[in-house]
Structure 1
């Protein structure tokens, strides 16, 4: 899936637009008079509650944005940028063109020949992130001063890097070590597998892993840092609080603070995928996203709701803070 970068600094008109159509979802039937019936029908199908968060893009000078927006498809991701950070992530549910609706929602911009944000899209799974542009530049091959200056769409390796950085999960995507998943390599759905089941693969080896887990076992006393159940060390994962691939060499060797023990009975996966995190006070944070899955919600409510982890310390919080801003599914 592609990833779009959407410049939208939250000040002036942009801030008001954000409040009107992102913080406050747009009610479809309020605008049925200017919505194409097919678009209205699709919106109701995708959002049975009858409202959705919406944004748009102007045609741009010389229609520079028109071809870019035309590449945007349902399932693609959009990252909003302003004041040096990516601050919002969402998934495109539907894209359409509607000048009248855009003008009603957002009026017109201030260029000599005014334009409105008529190339519109509705977003689902909208959540807050806080990712500095410094972490984005190397993924896109940018220089040290580059910023998001216009609407652009990325695919291939650049999109994969952005998805991994911002924890943007593809449907049915597995989580492989160090974000090596490449969706373009997947076979078409339902295609029979007829290749060999074993193969050779070259890759980096975590040379510190055994010592890392041994040290966490000494610190943690054989208990899961999240659910606090006492378990054999073989059923506890030496988990990195901050994703190992994003740690410096110095951080990787900070055994006492960068890691925690998480059980294989769900806690490790919930933390890795961002369904839970740890607050600046050590409380277990639970994403609203868990409510979409009955069994997951039941497990989280039973084991983690209202818990405070004894693993939290001020020294570890800088690693937990990375997880809160990069991985946690903080839904809007």
Structure 2
């Protein structure tokens, strides 16, 4: 009898034993570090794969539309694929052609840049600044450094789509898999409803974010392009496309899109034209990107401003320029896999959301 009681007590102790919470946190942190290091090492593969996934999610409604219209599944796939290809190739063509035009025109601004420096030296000298101090202050300003800054900005954008064959091939395969995605979702929903909910929330949030950012990006690009054309800044189409692309970069996209046209305006028309470009950009972009757009983006993705900024820094460090462009969708995927997938951790979403929603009832 005593032996049975001892065995029962020992069984209770064994069944009630659990891993200490501190050890769980330590293991999770170690796993996160290893995972981040792996993603960073394979950034050249992970980035294009996620870009293709985002484009596939963006054009998936086209396949759904074709299915509702009674069209063959393969025809819906072809239409969606053509739409995705048009987006990638169209942006790449505009960037390459405009960058080539910029590279042709920039060398002619060398003399104007020297004249600007002479004007700055005269101004500083009139204020009583010594020649040695002026030389020290302006020694870091060089026309070739300006060229490198503009070329680096454009090459970074072109580099986002540089692995073109890989991205186009992935789009083809993902679009083919999209034909049967409805049936796959039904199976996942029946077997693992929480996983289905997390993936569905990620896809819906990503699609809404891409739609909102695309609409506002087009609006900003049109206004910026027209303003630059009216001011006489060269290559307004290039800078309009740059404004559209950088609109997908949260928080600091406006600054990235402003620097190249402002510098070119300085070379073209001097400080006055540069100031006008800065003022026009600030008015247009502040009103649209800082006042109107965040309300719609916050409603679409459910992420606070702090989280979006930190996600930008993190993913840009991990994946480079492509990580900056896809920071929000990548964060949504991370939230889906780590938080939304488990009902017991969904409460954390309230801490990182811009407008916390009511908690979802646990799945049966």
> Which one has the largest radius of gyration?
2
Mark yes or no: TM-score above 0.5: no
Please give the TM-score of this superposition, normalised by the length of structure 2.
0.24
Higher helix proportion (structure 1 or 2): 2
Please give the TM-score of this superposition, normalised by the length of structure 1.
0.25
Higher RCO, 1 vs 2 (CA within 8 Å, ≥6 residues apart): 2
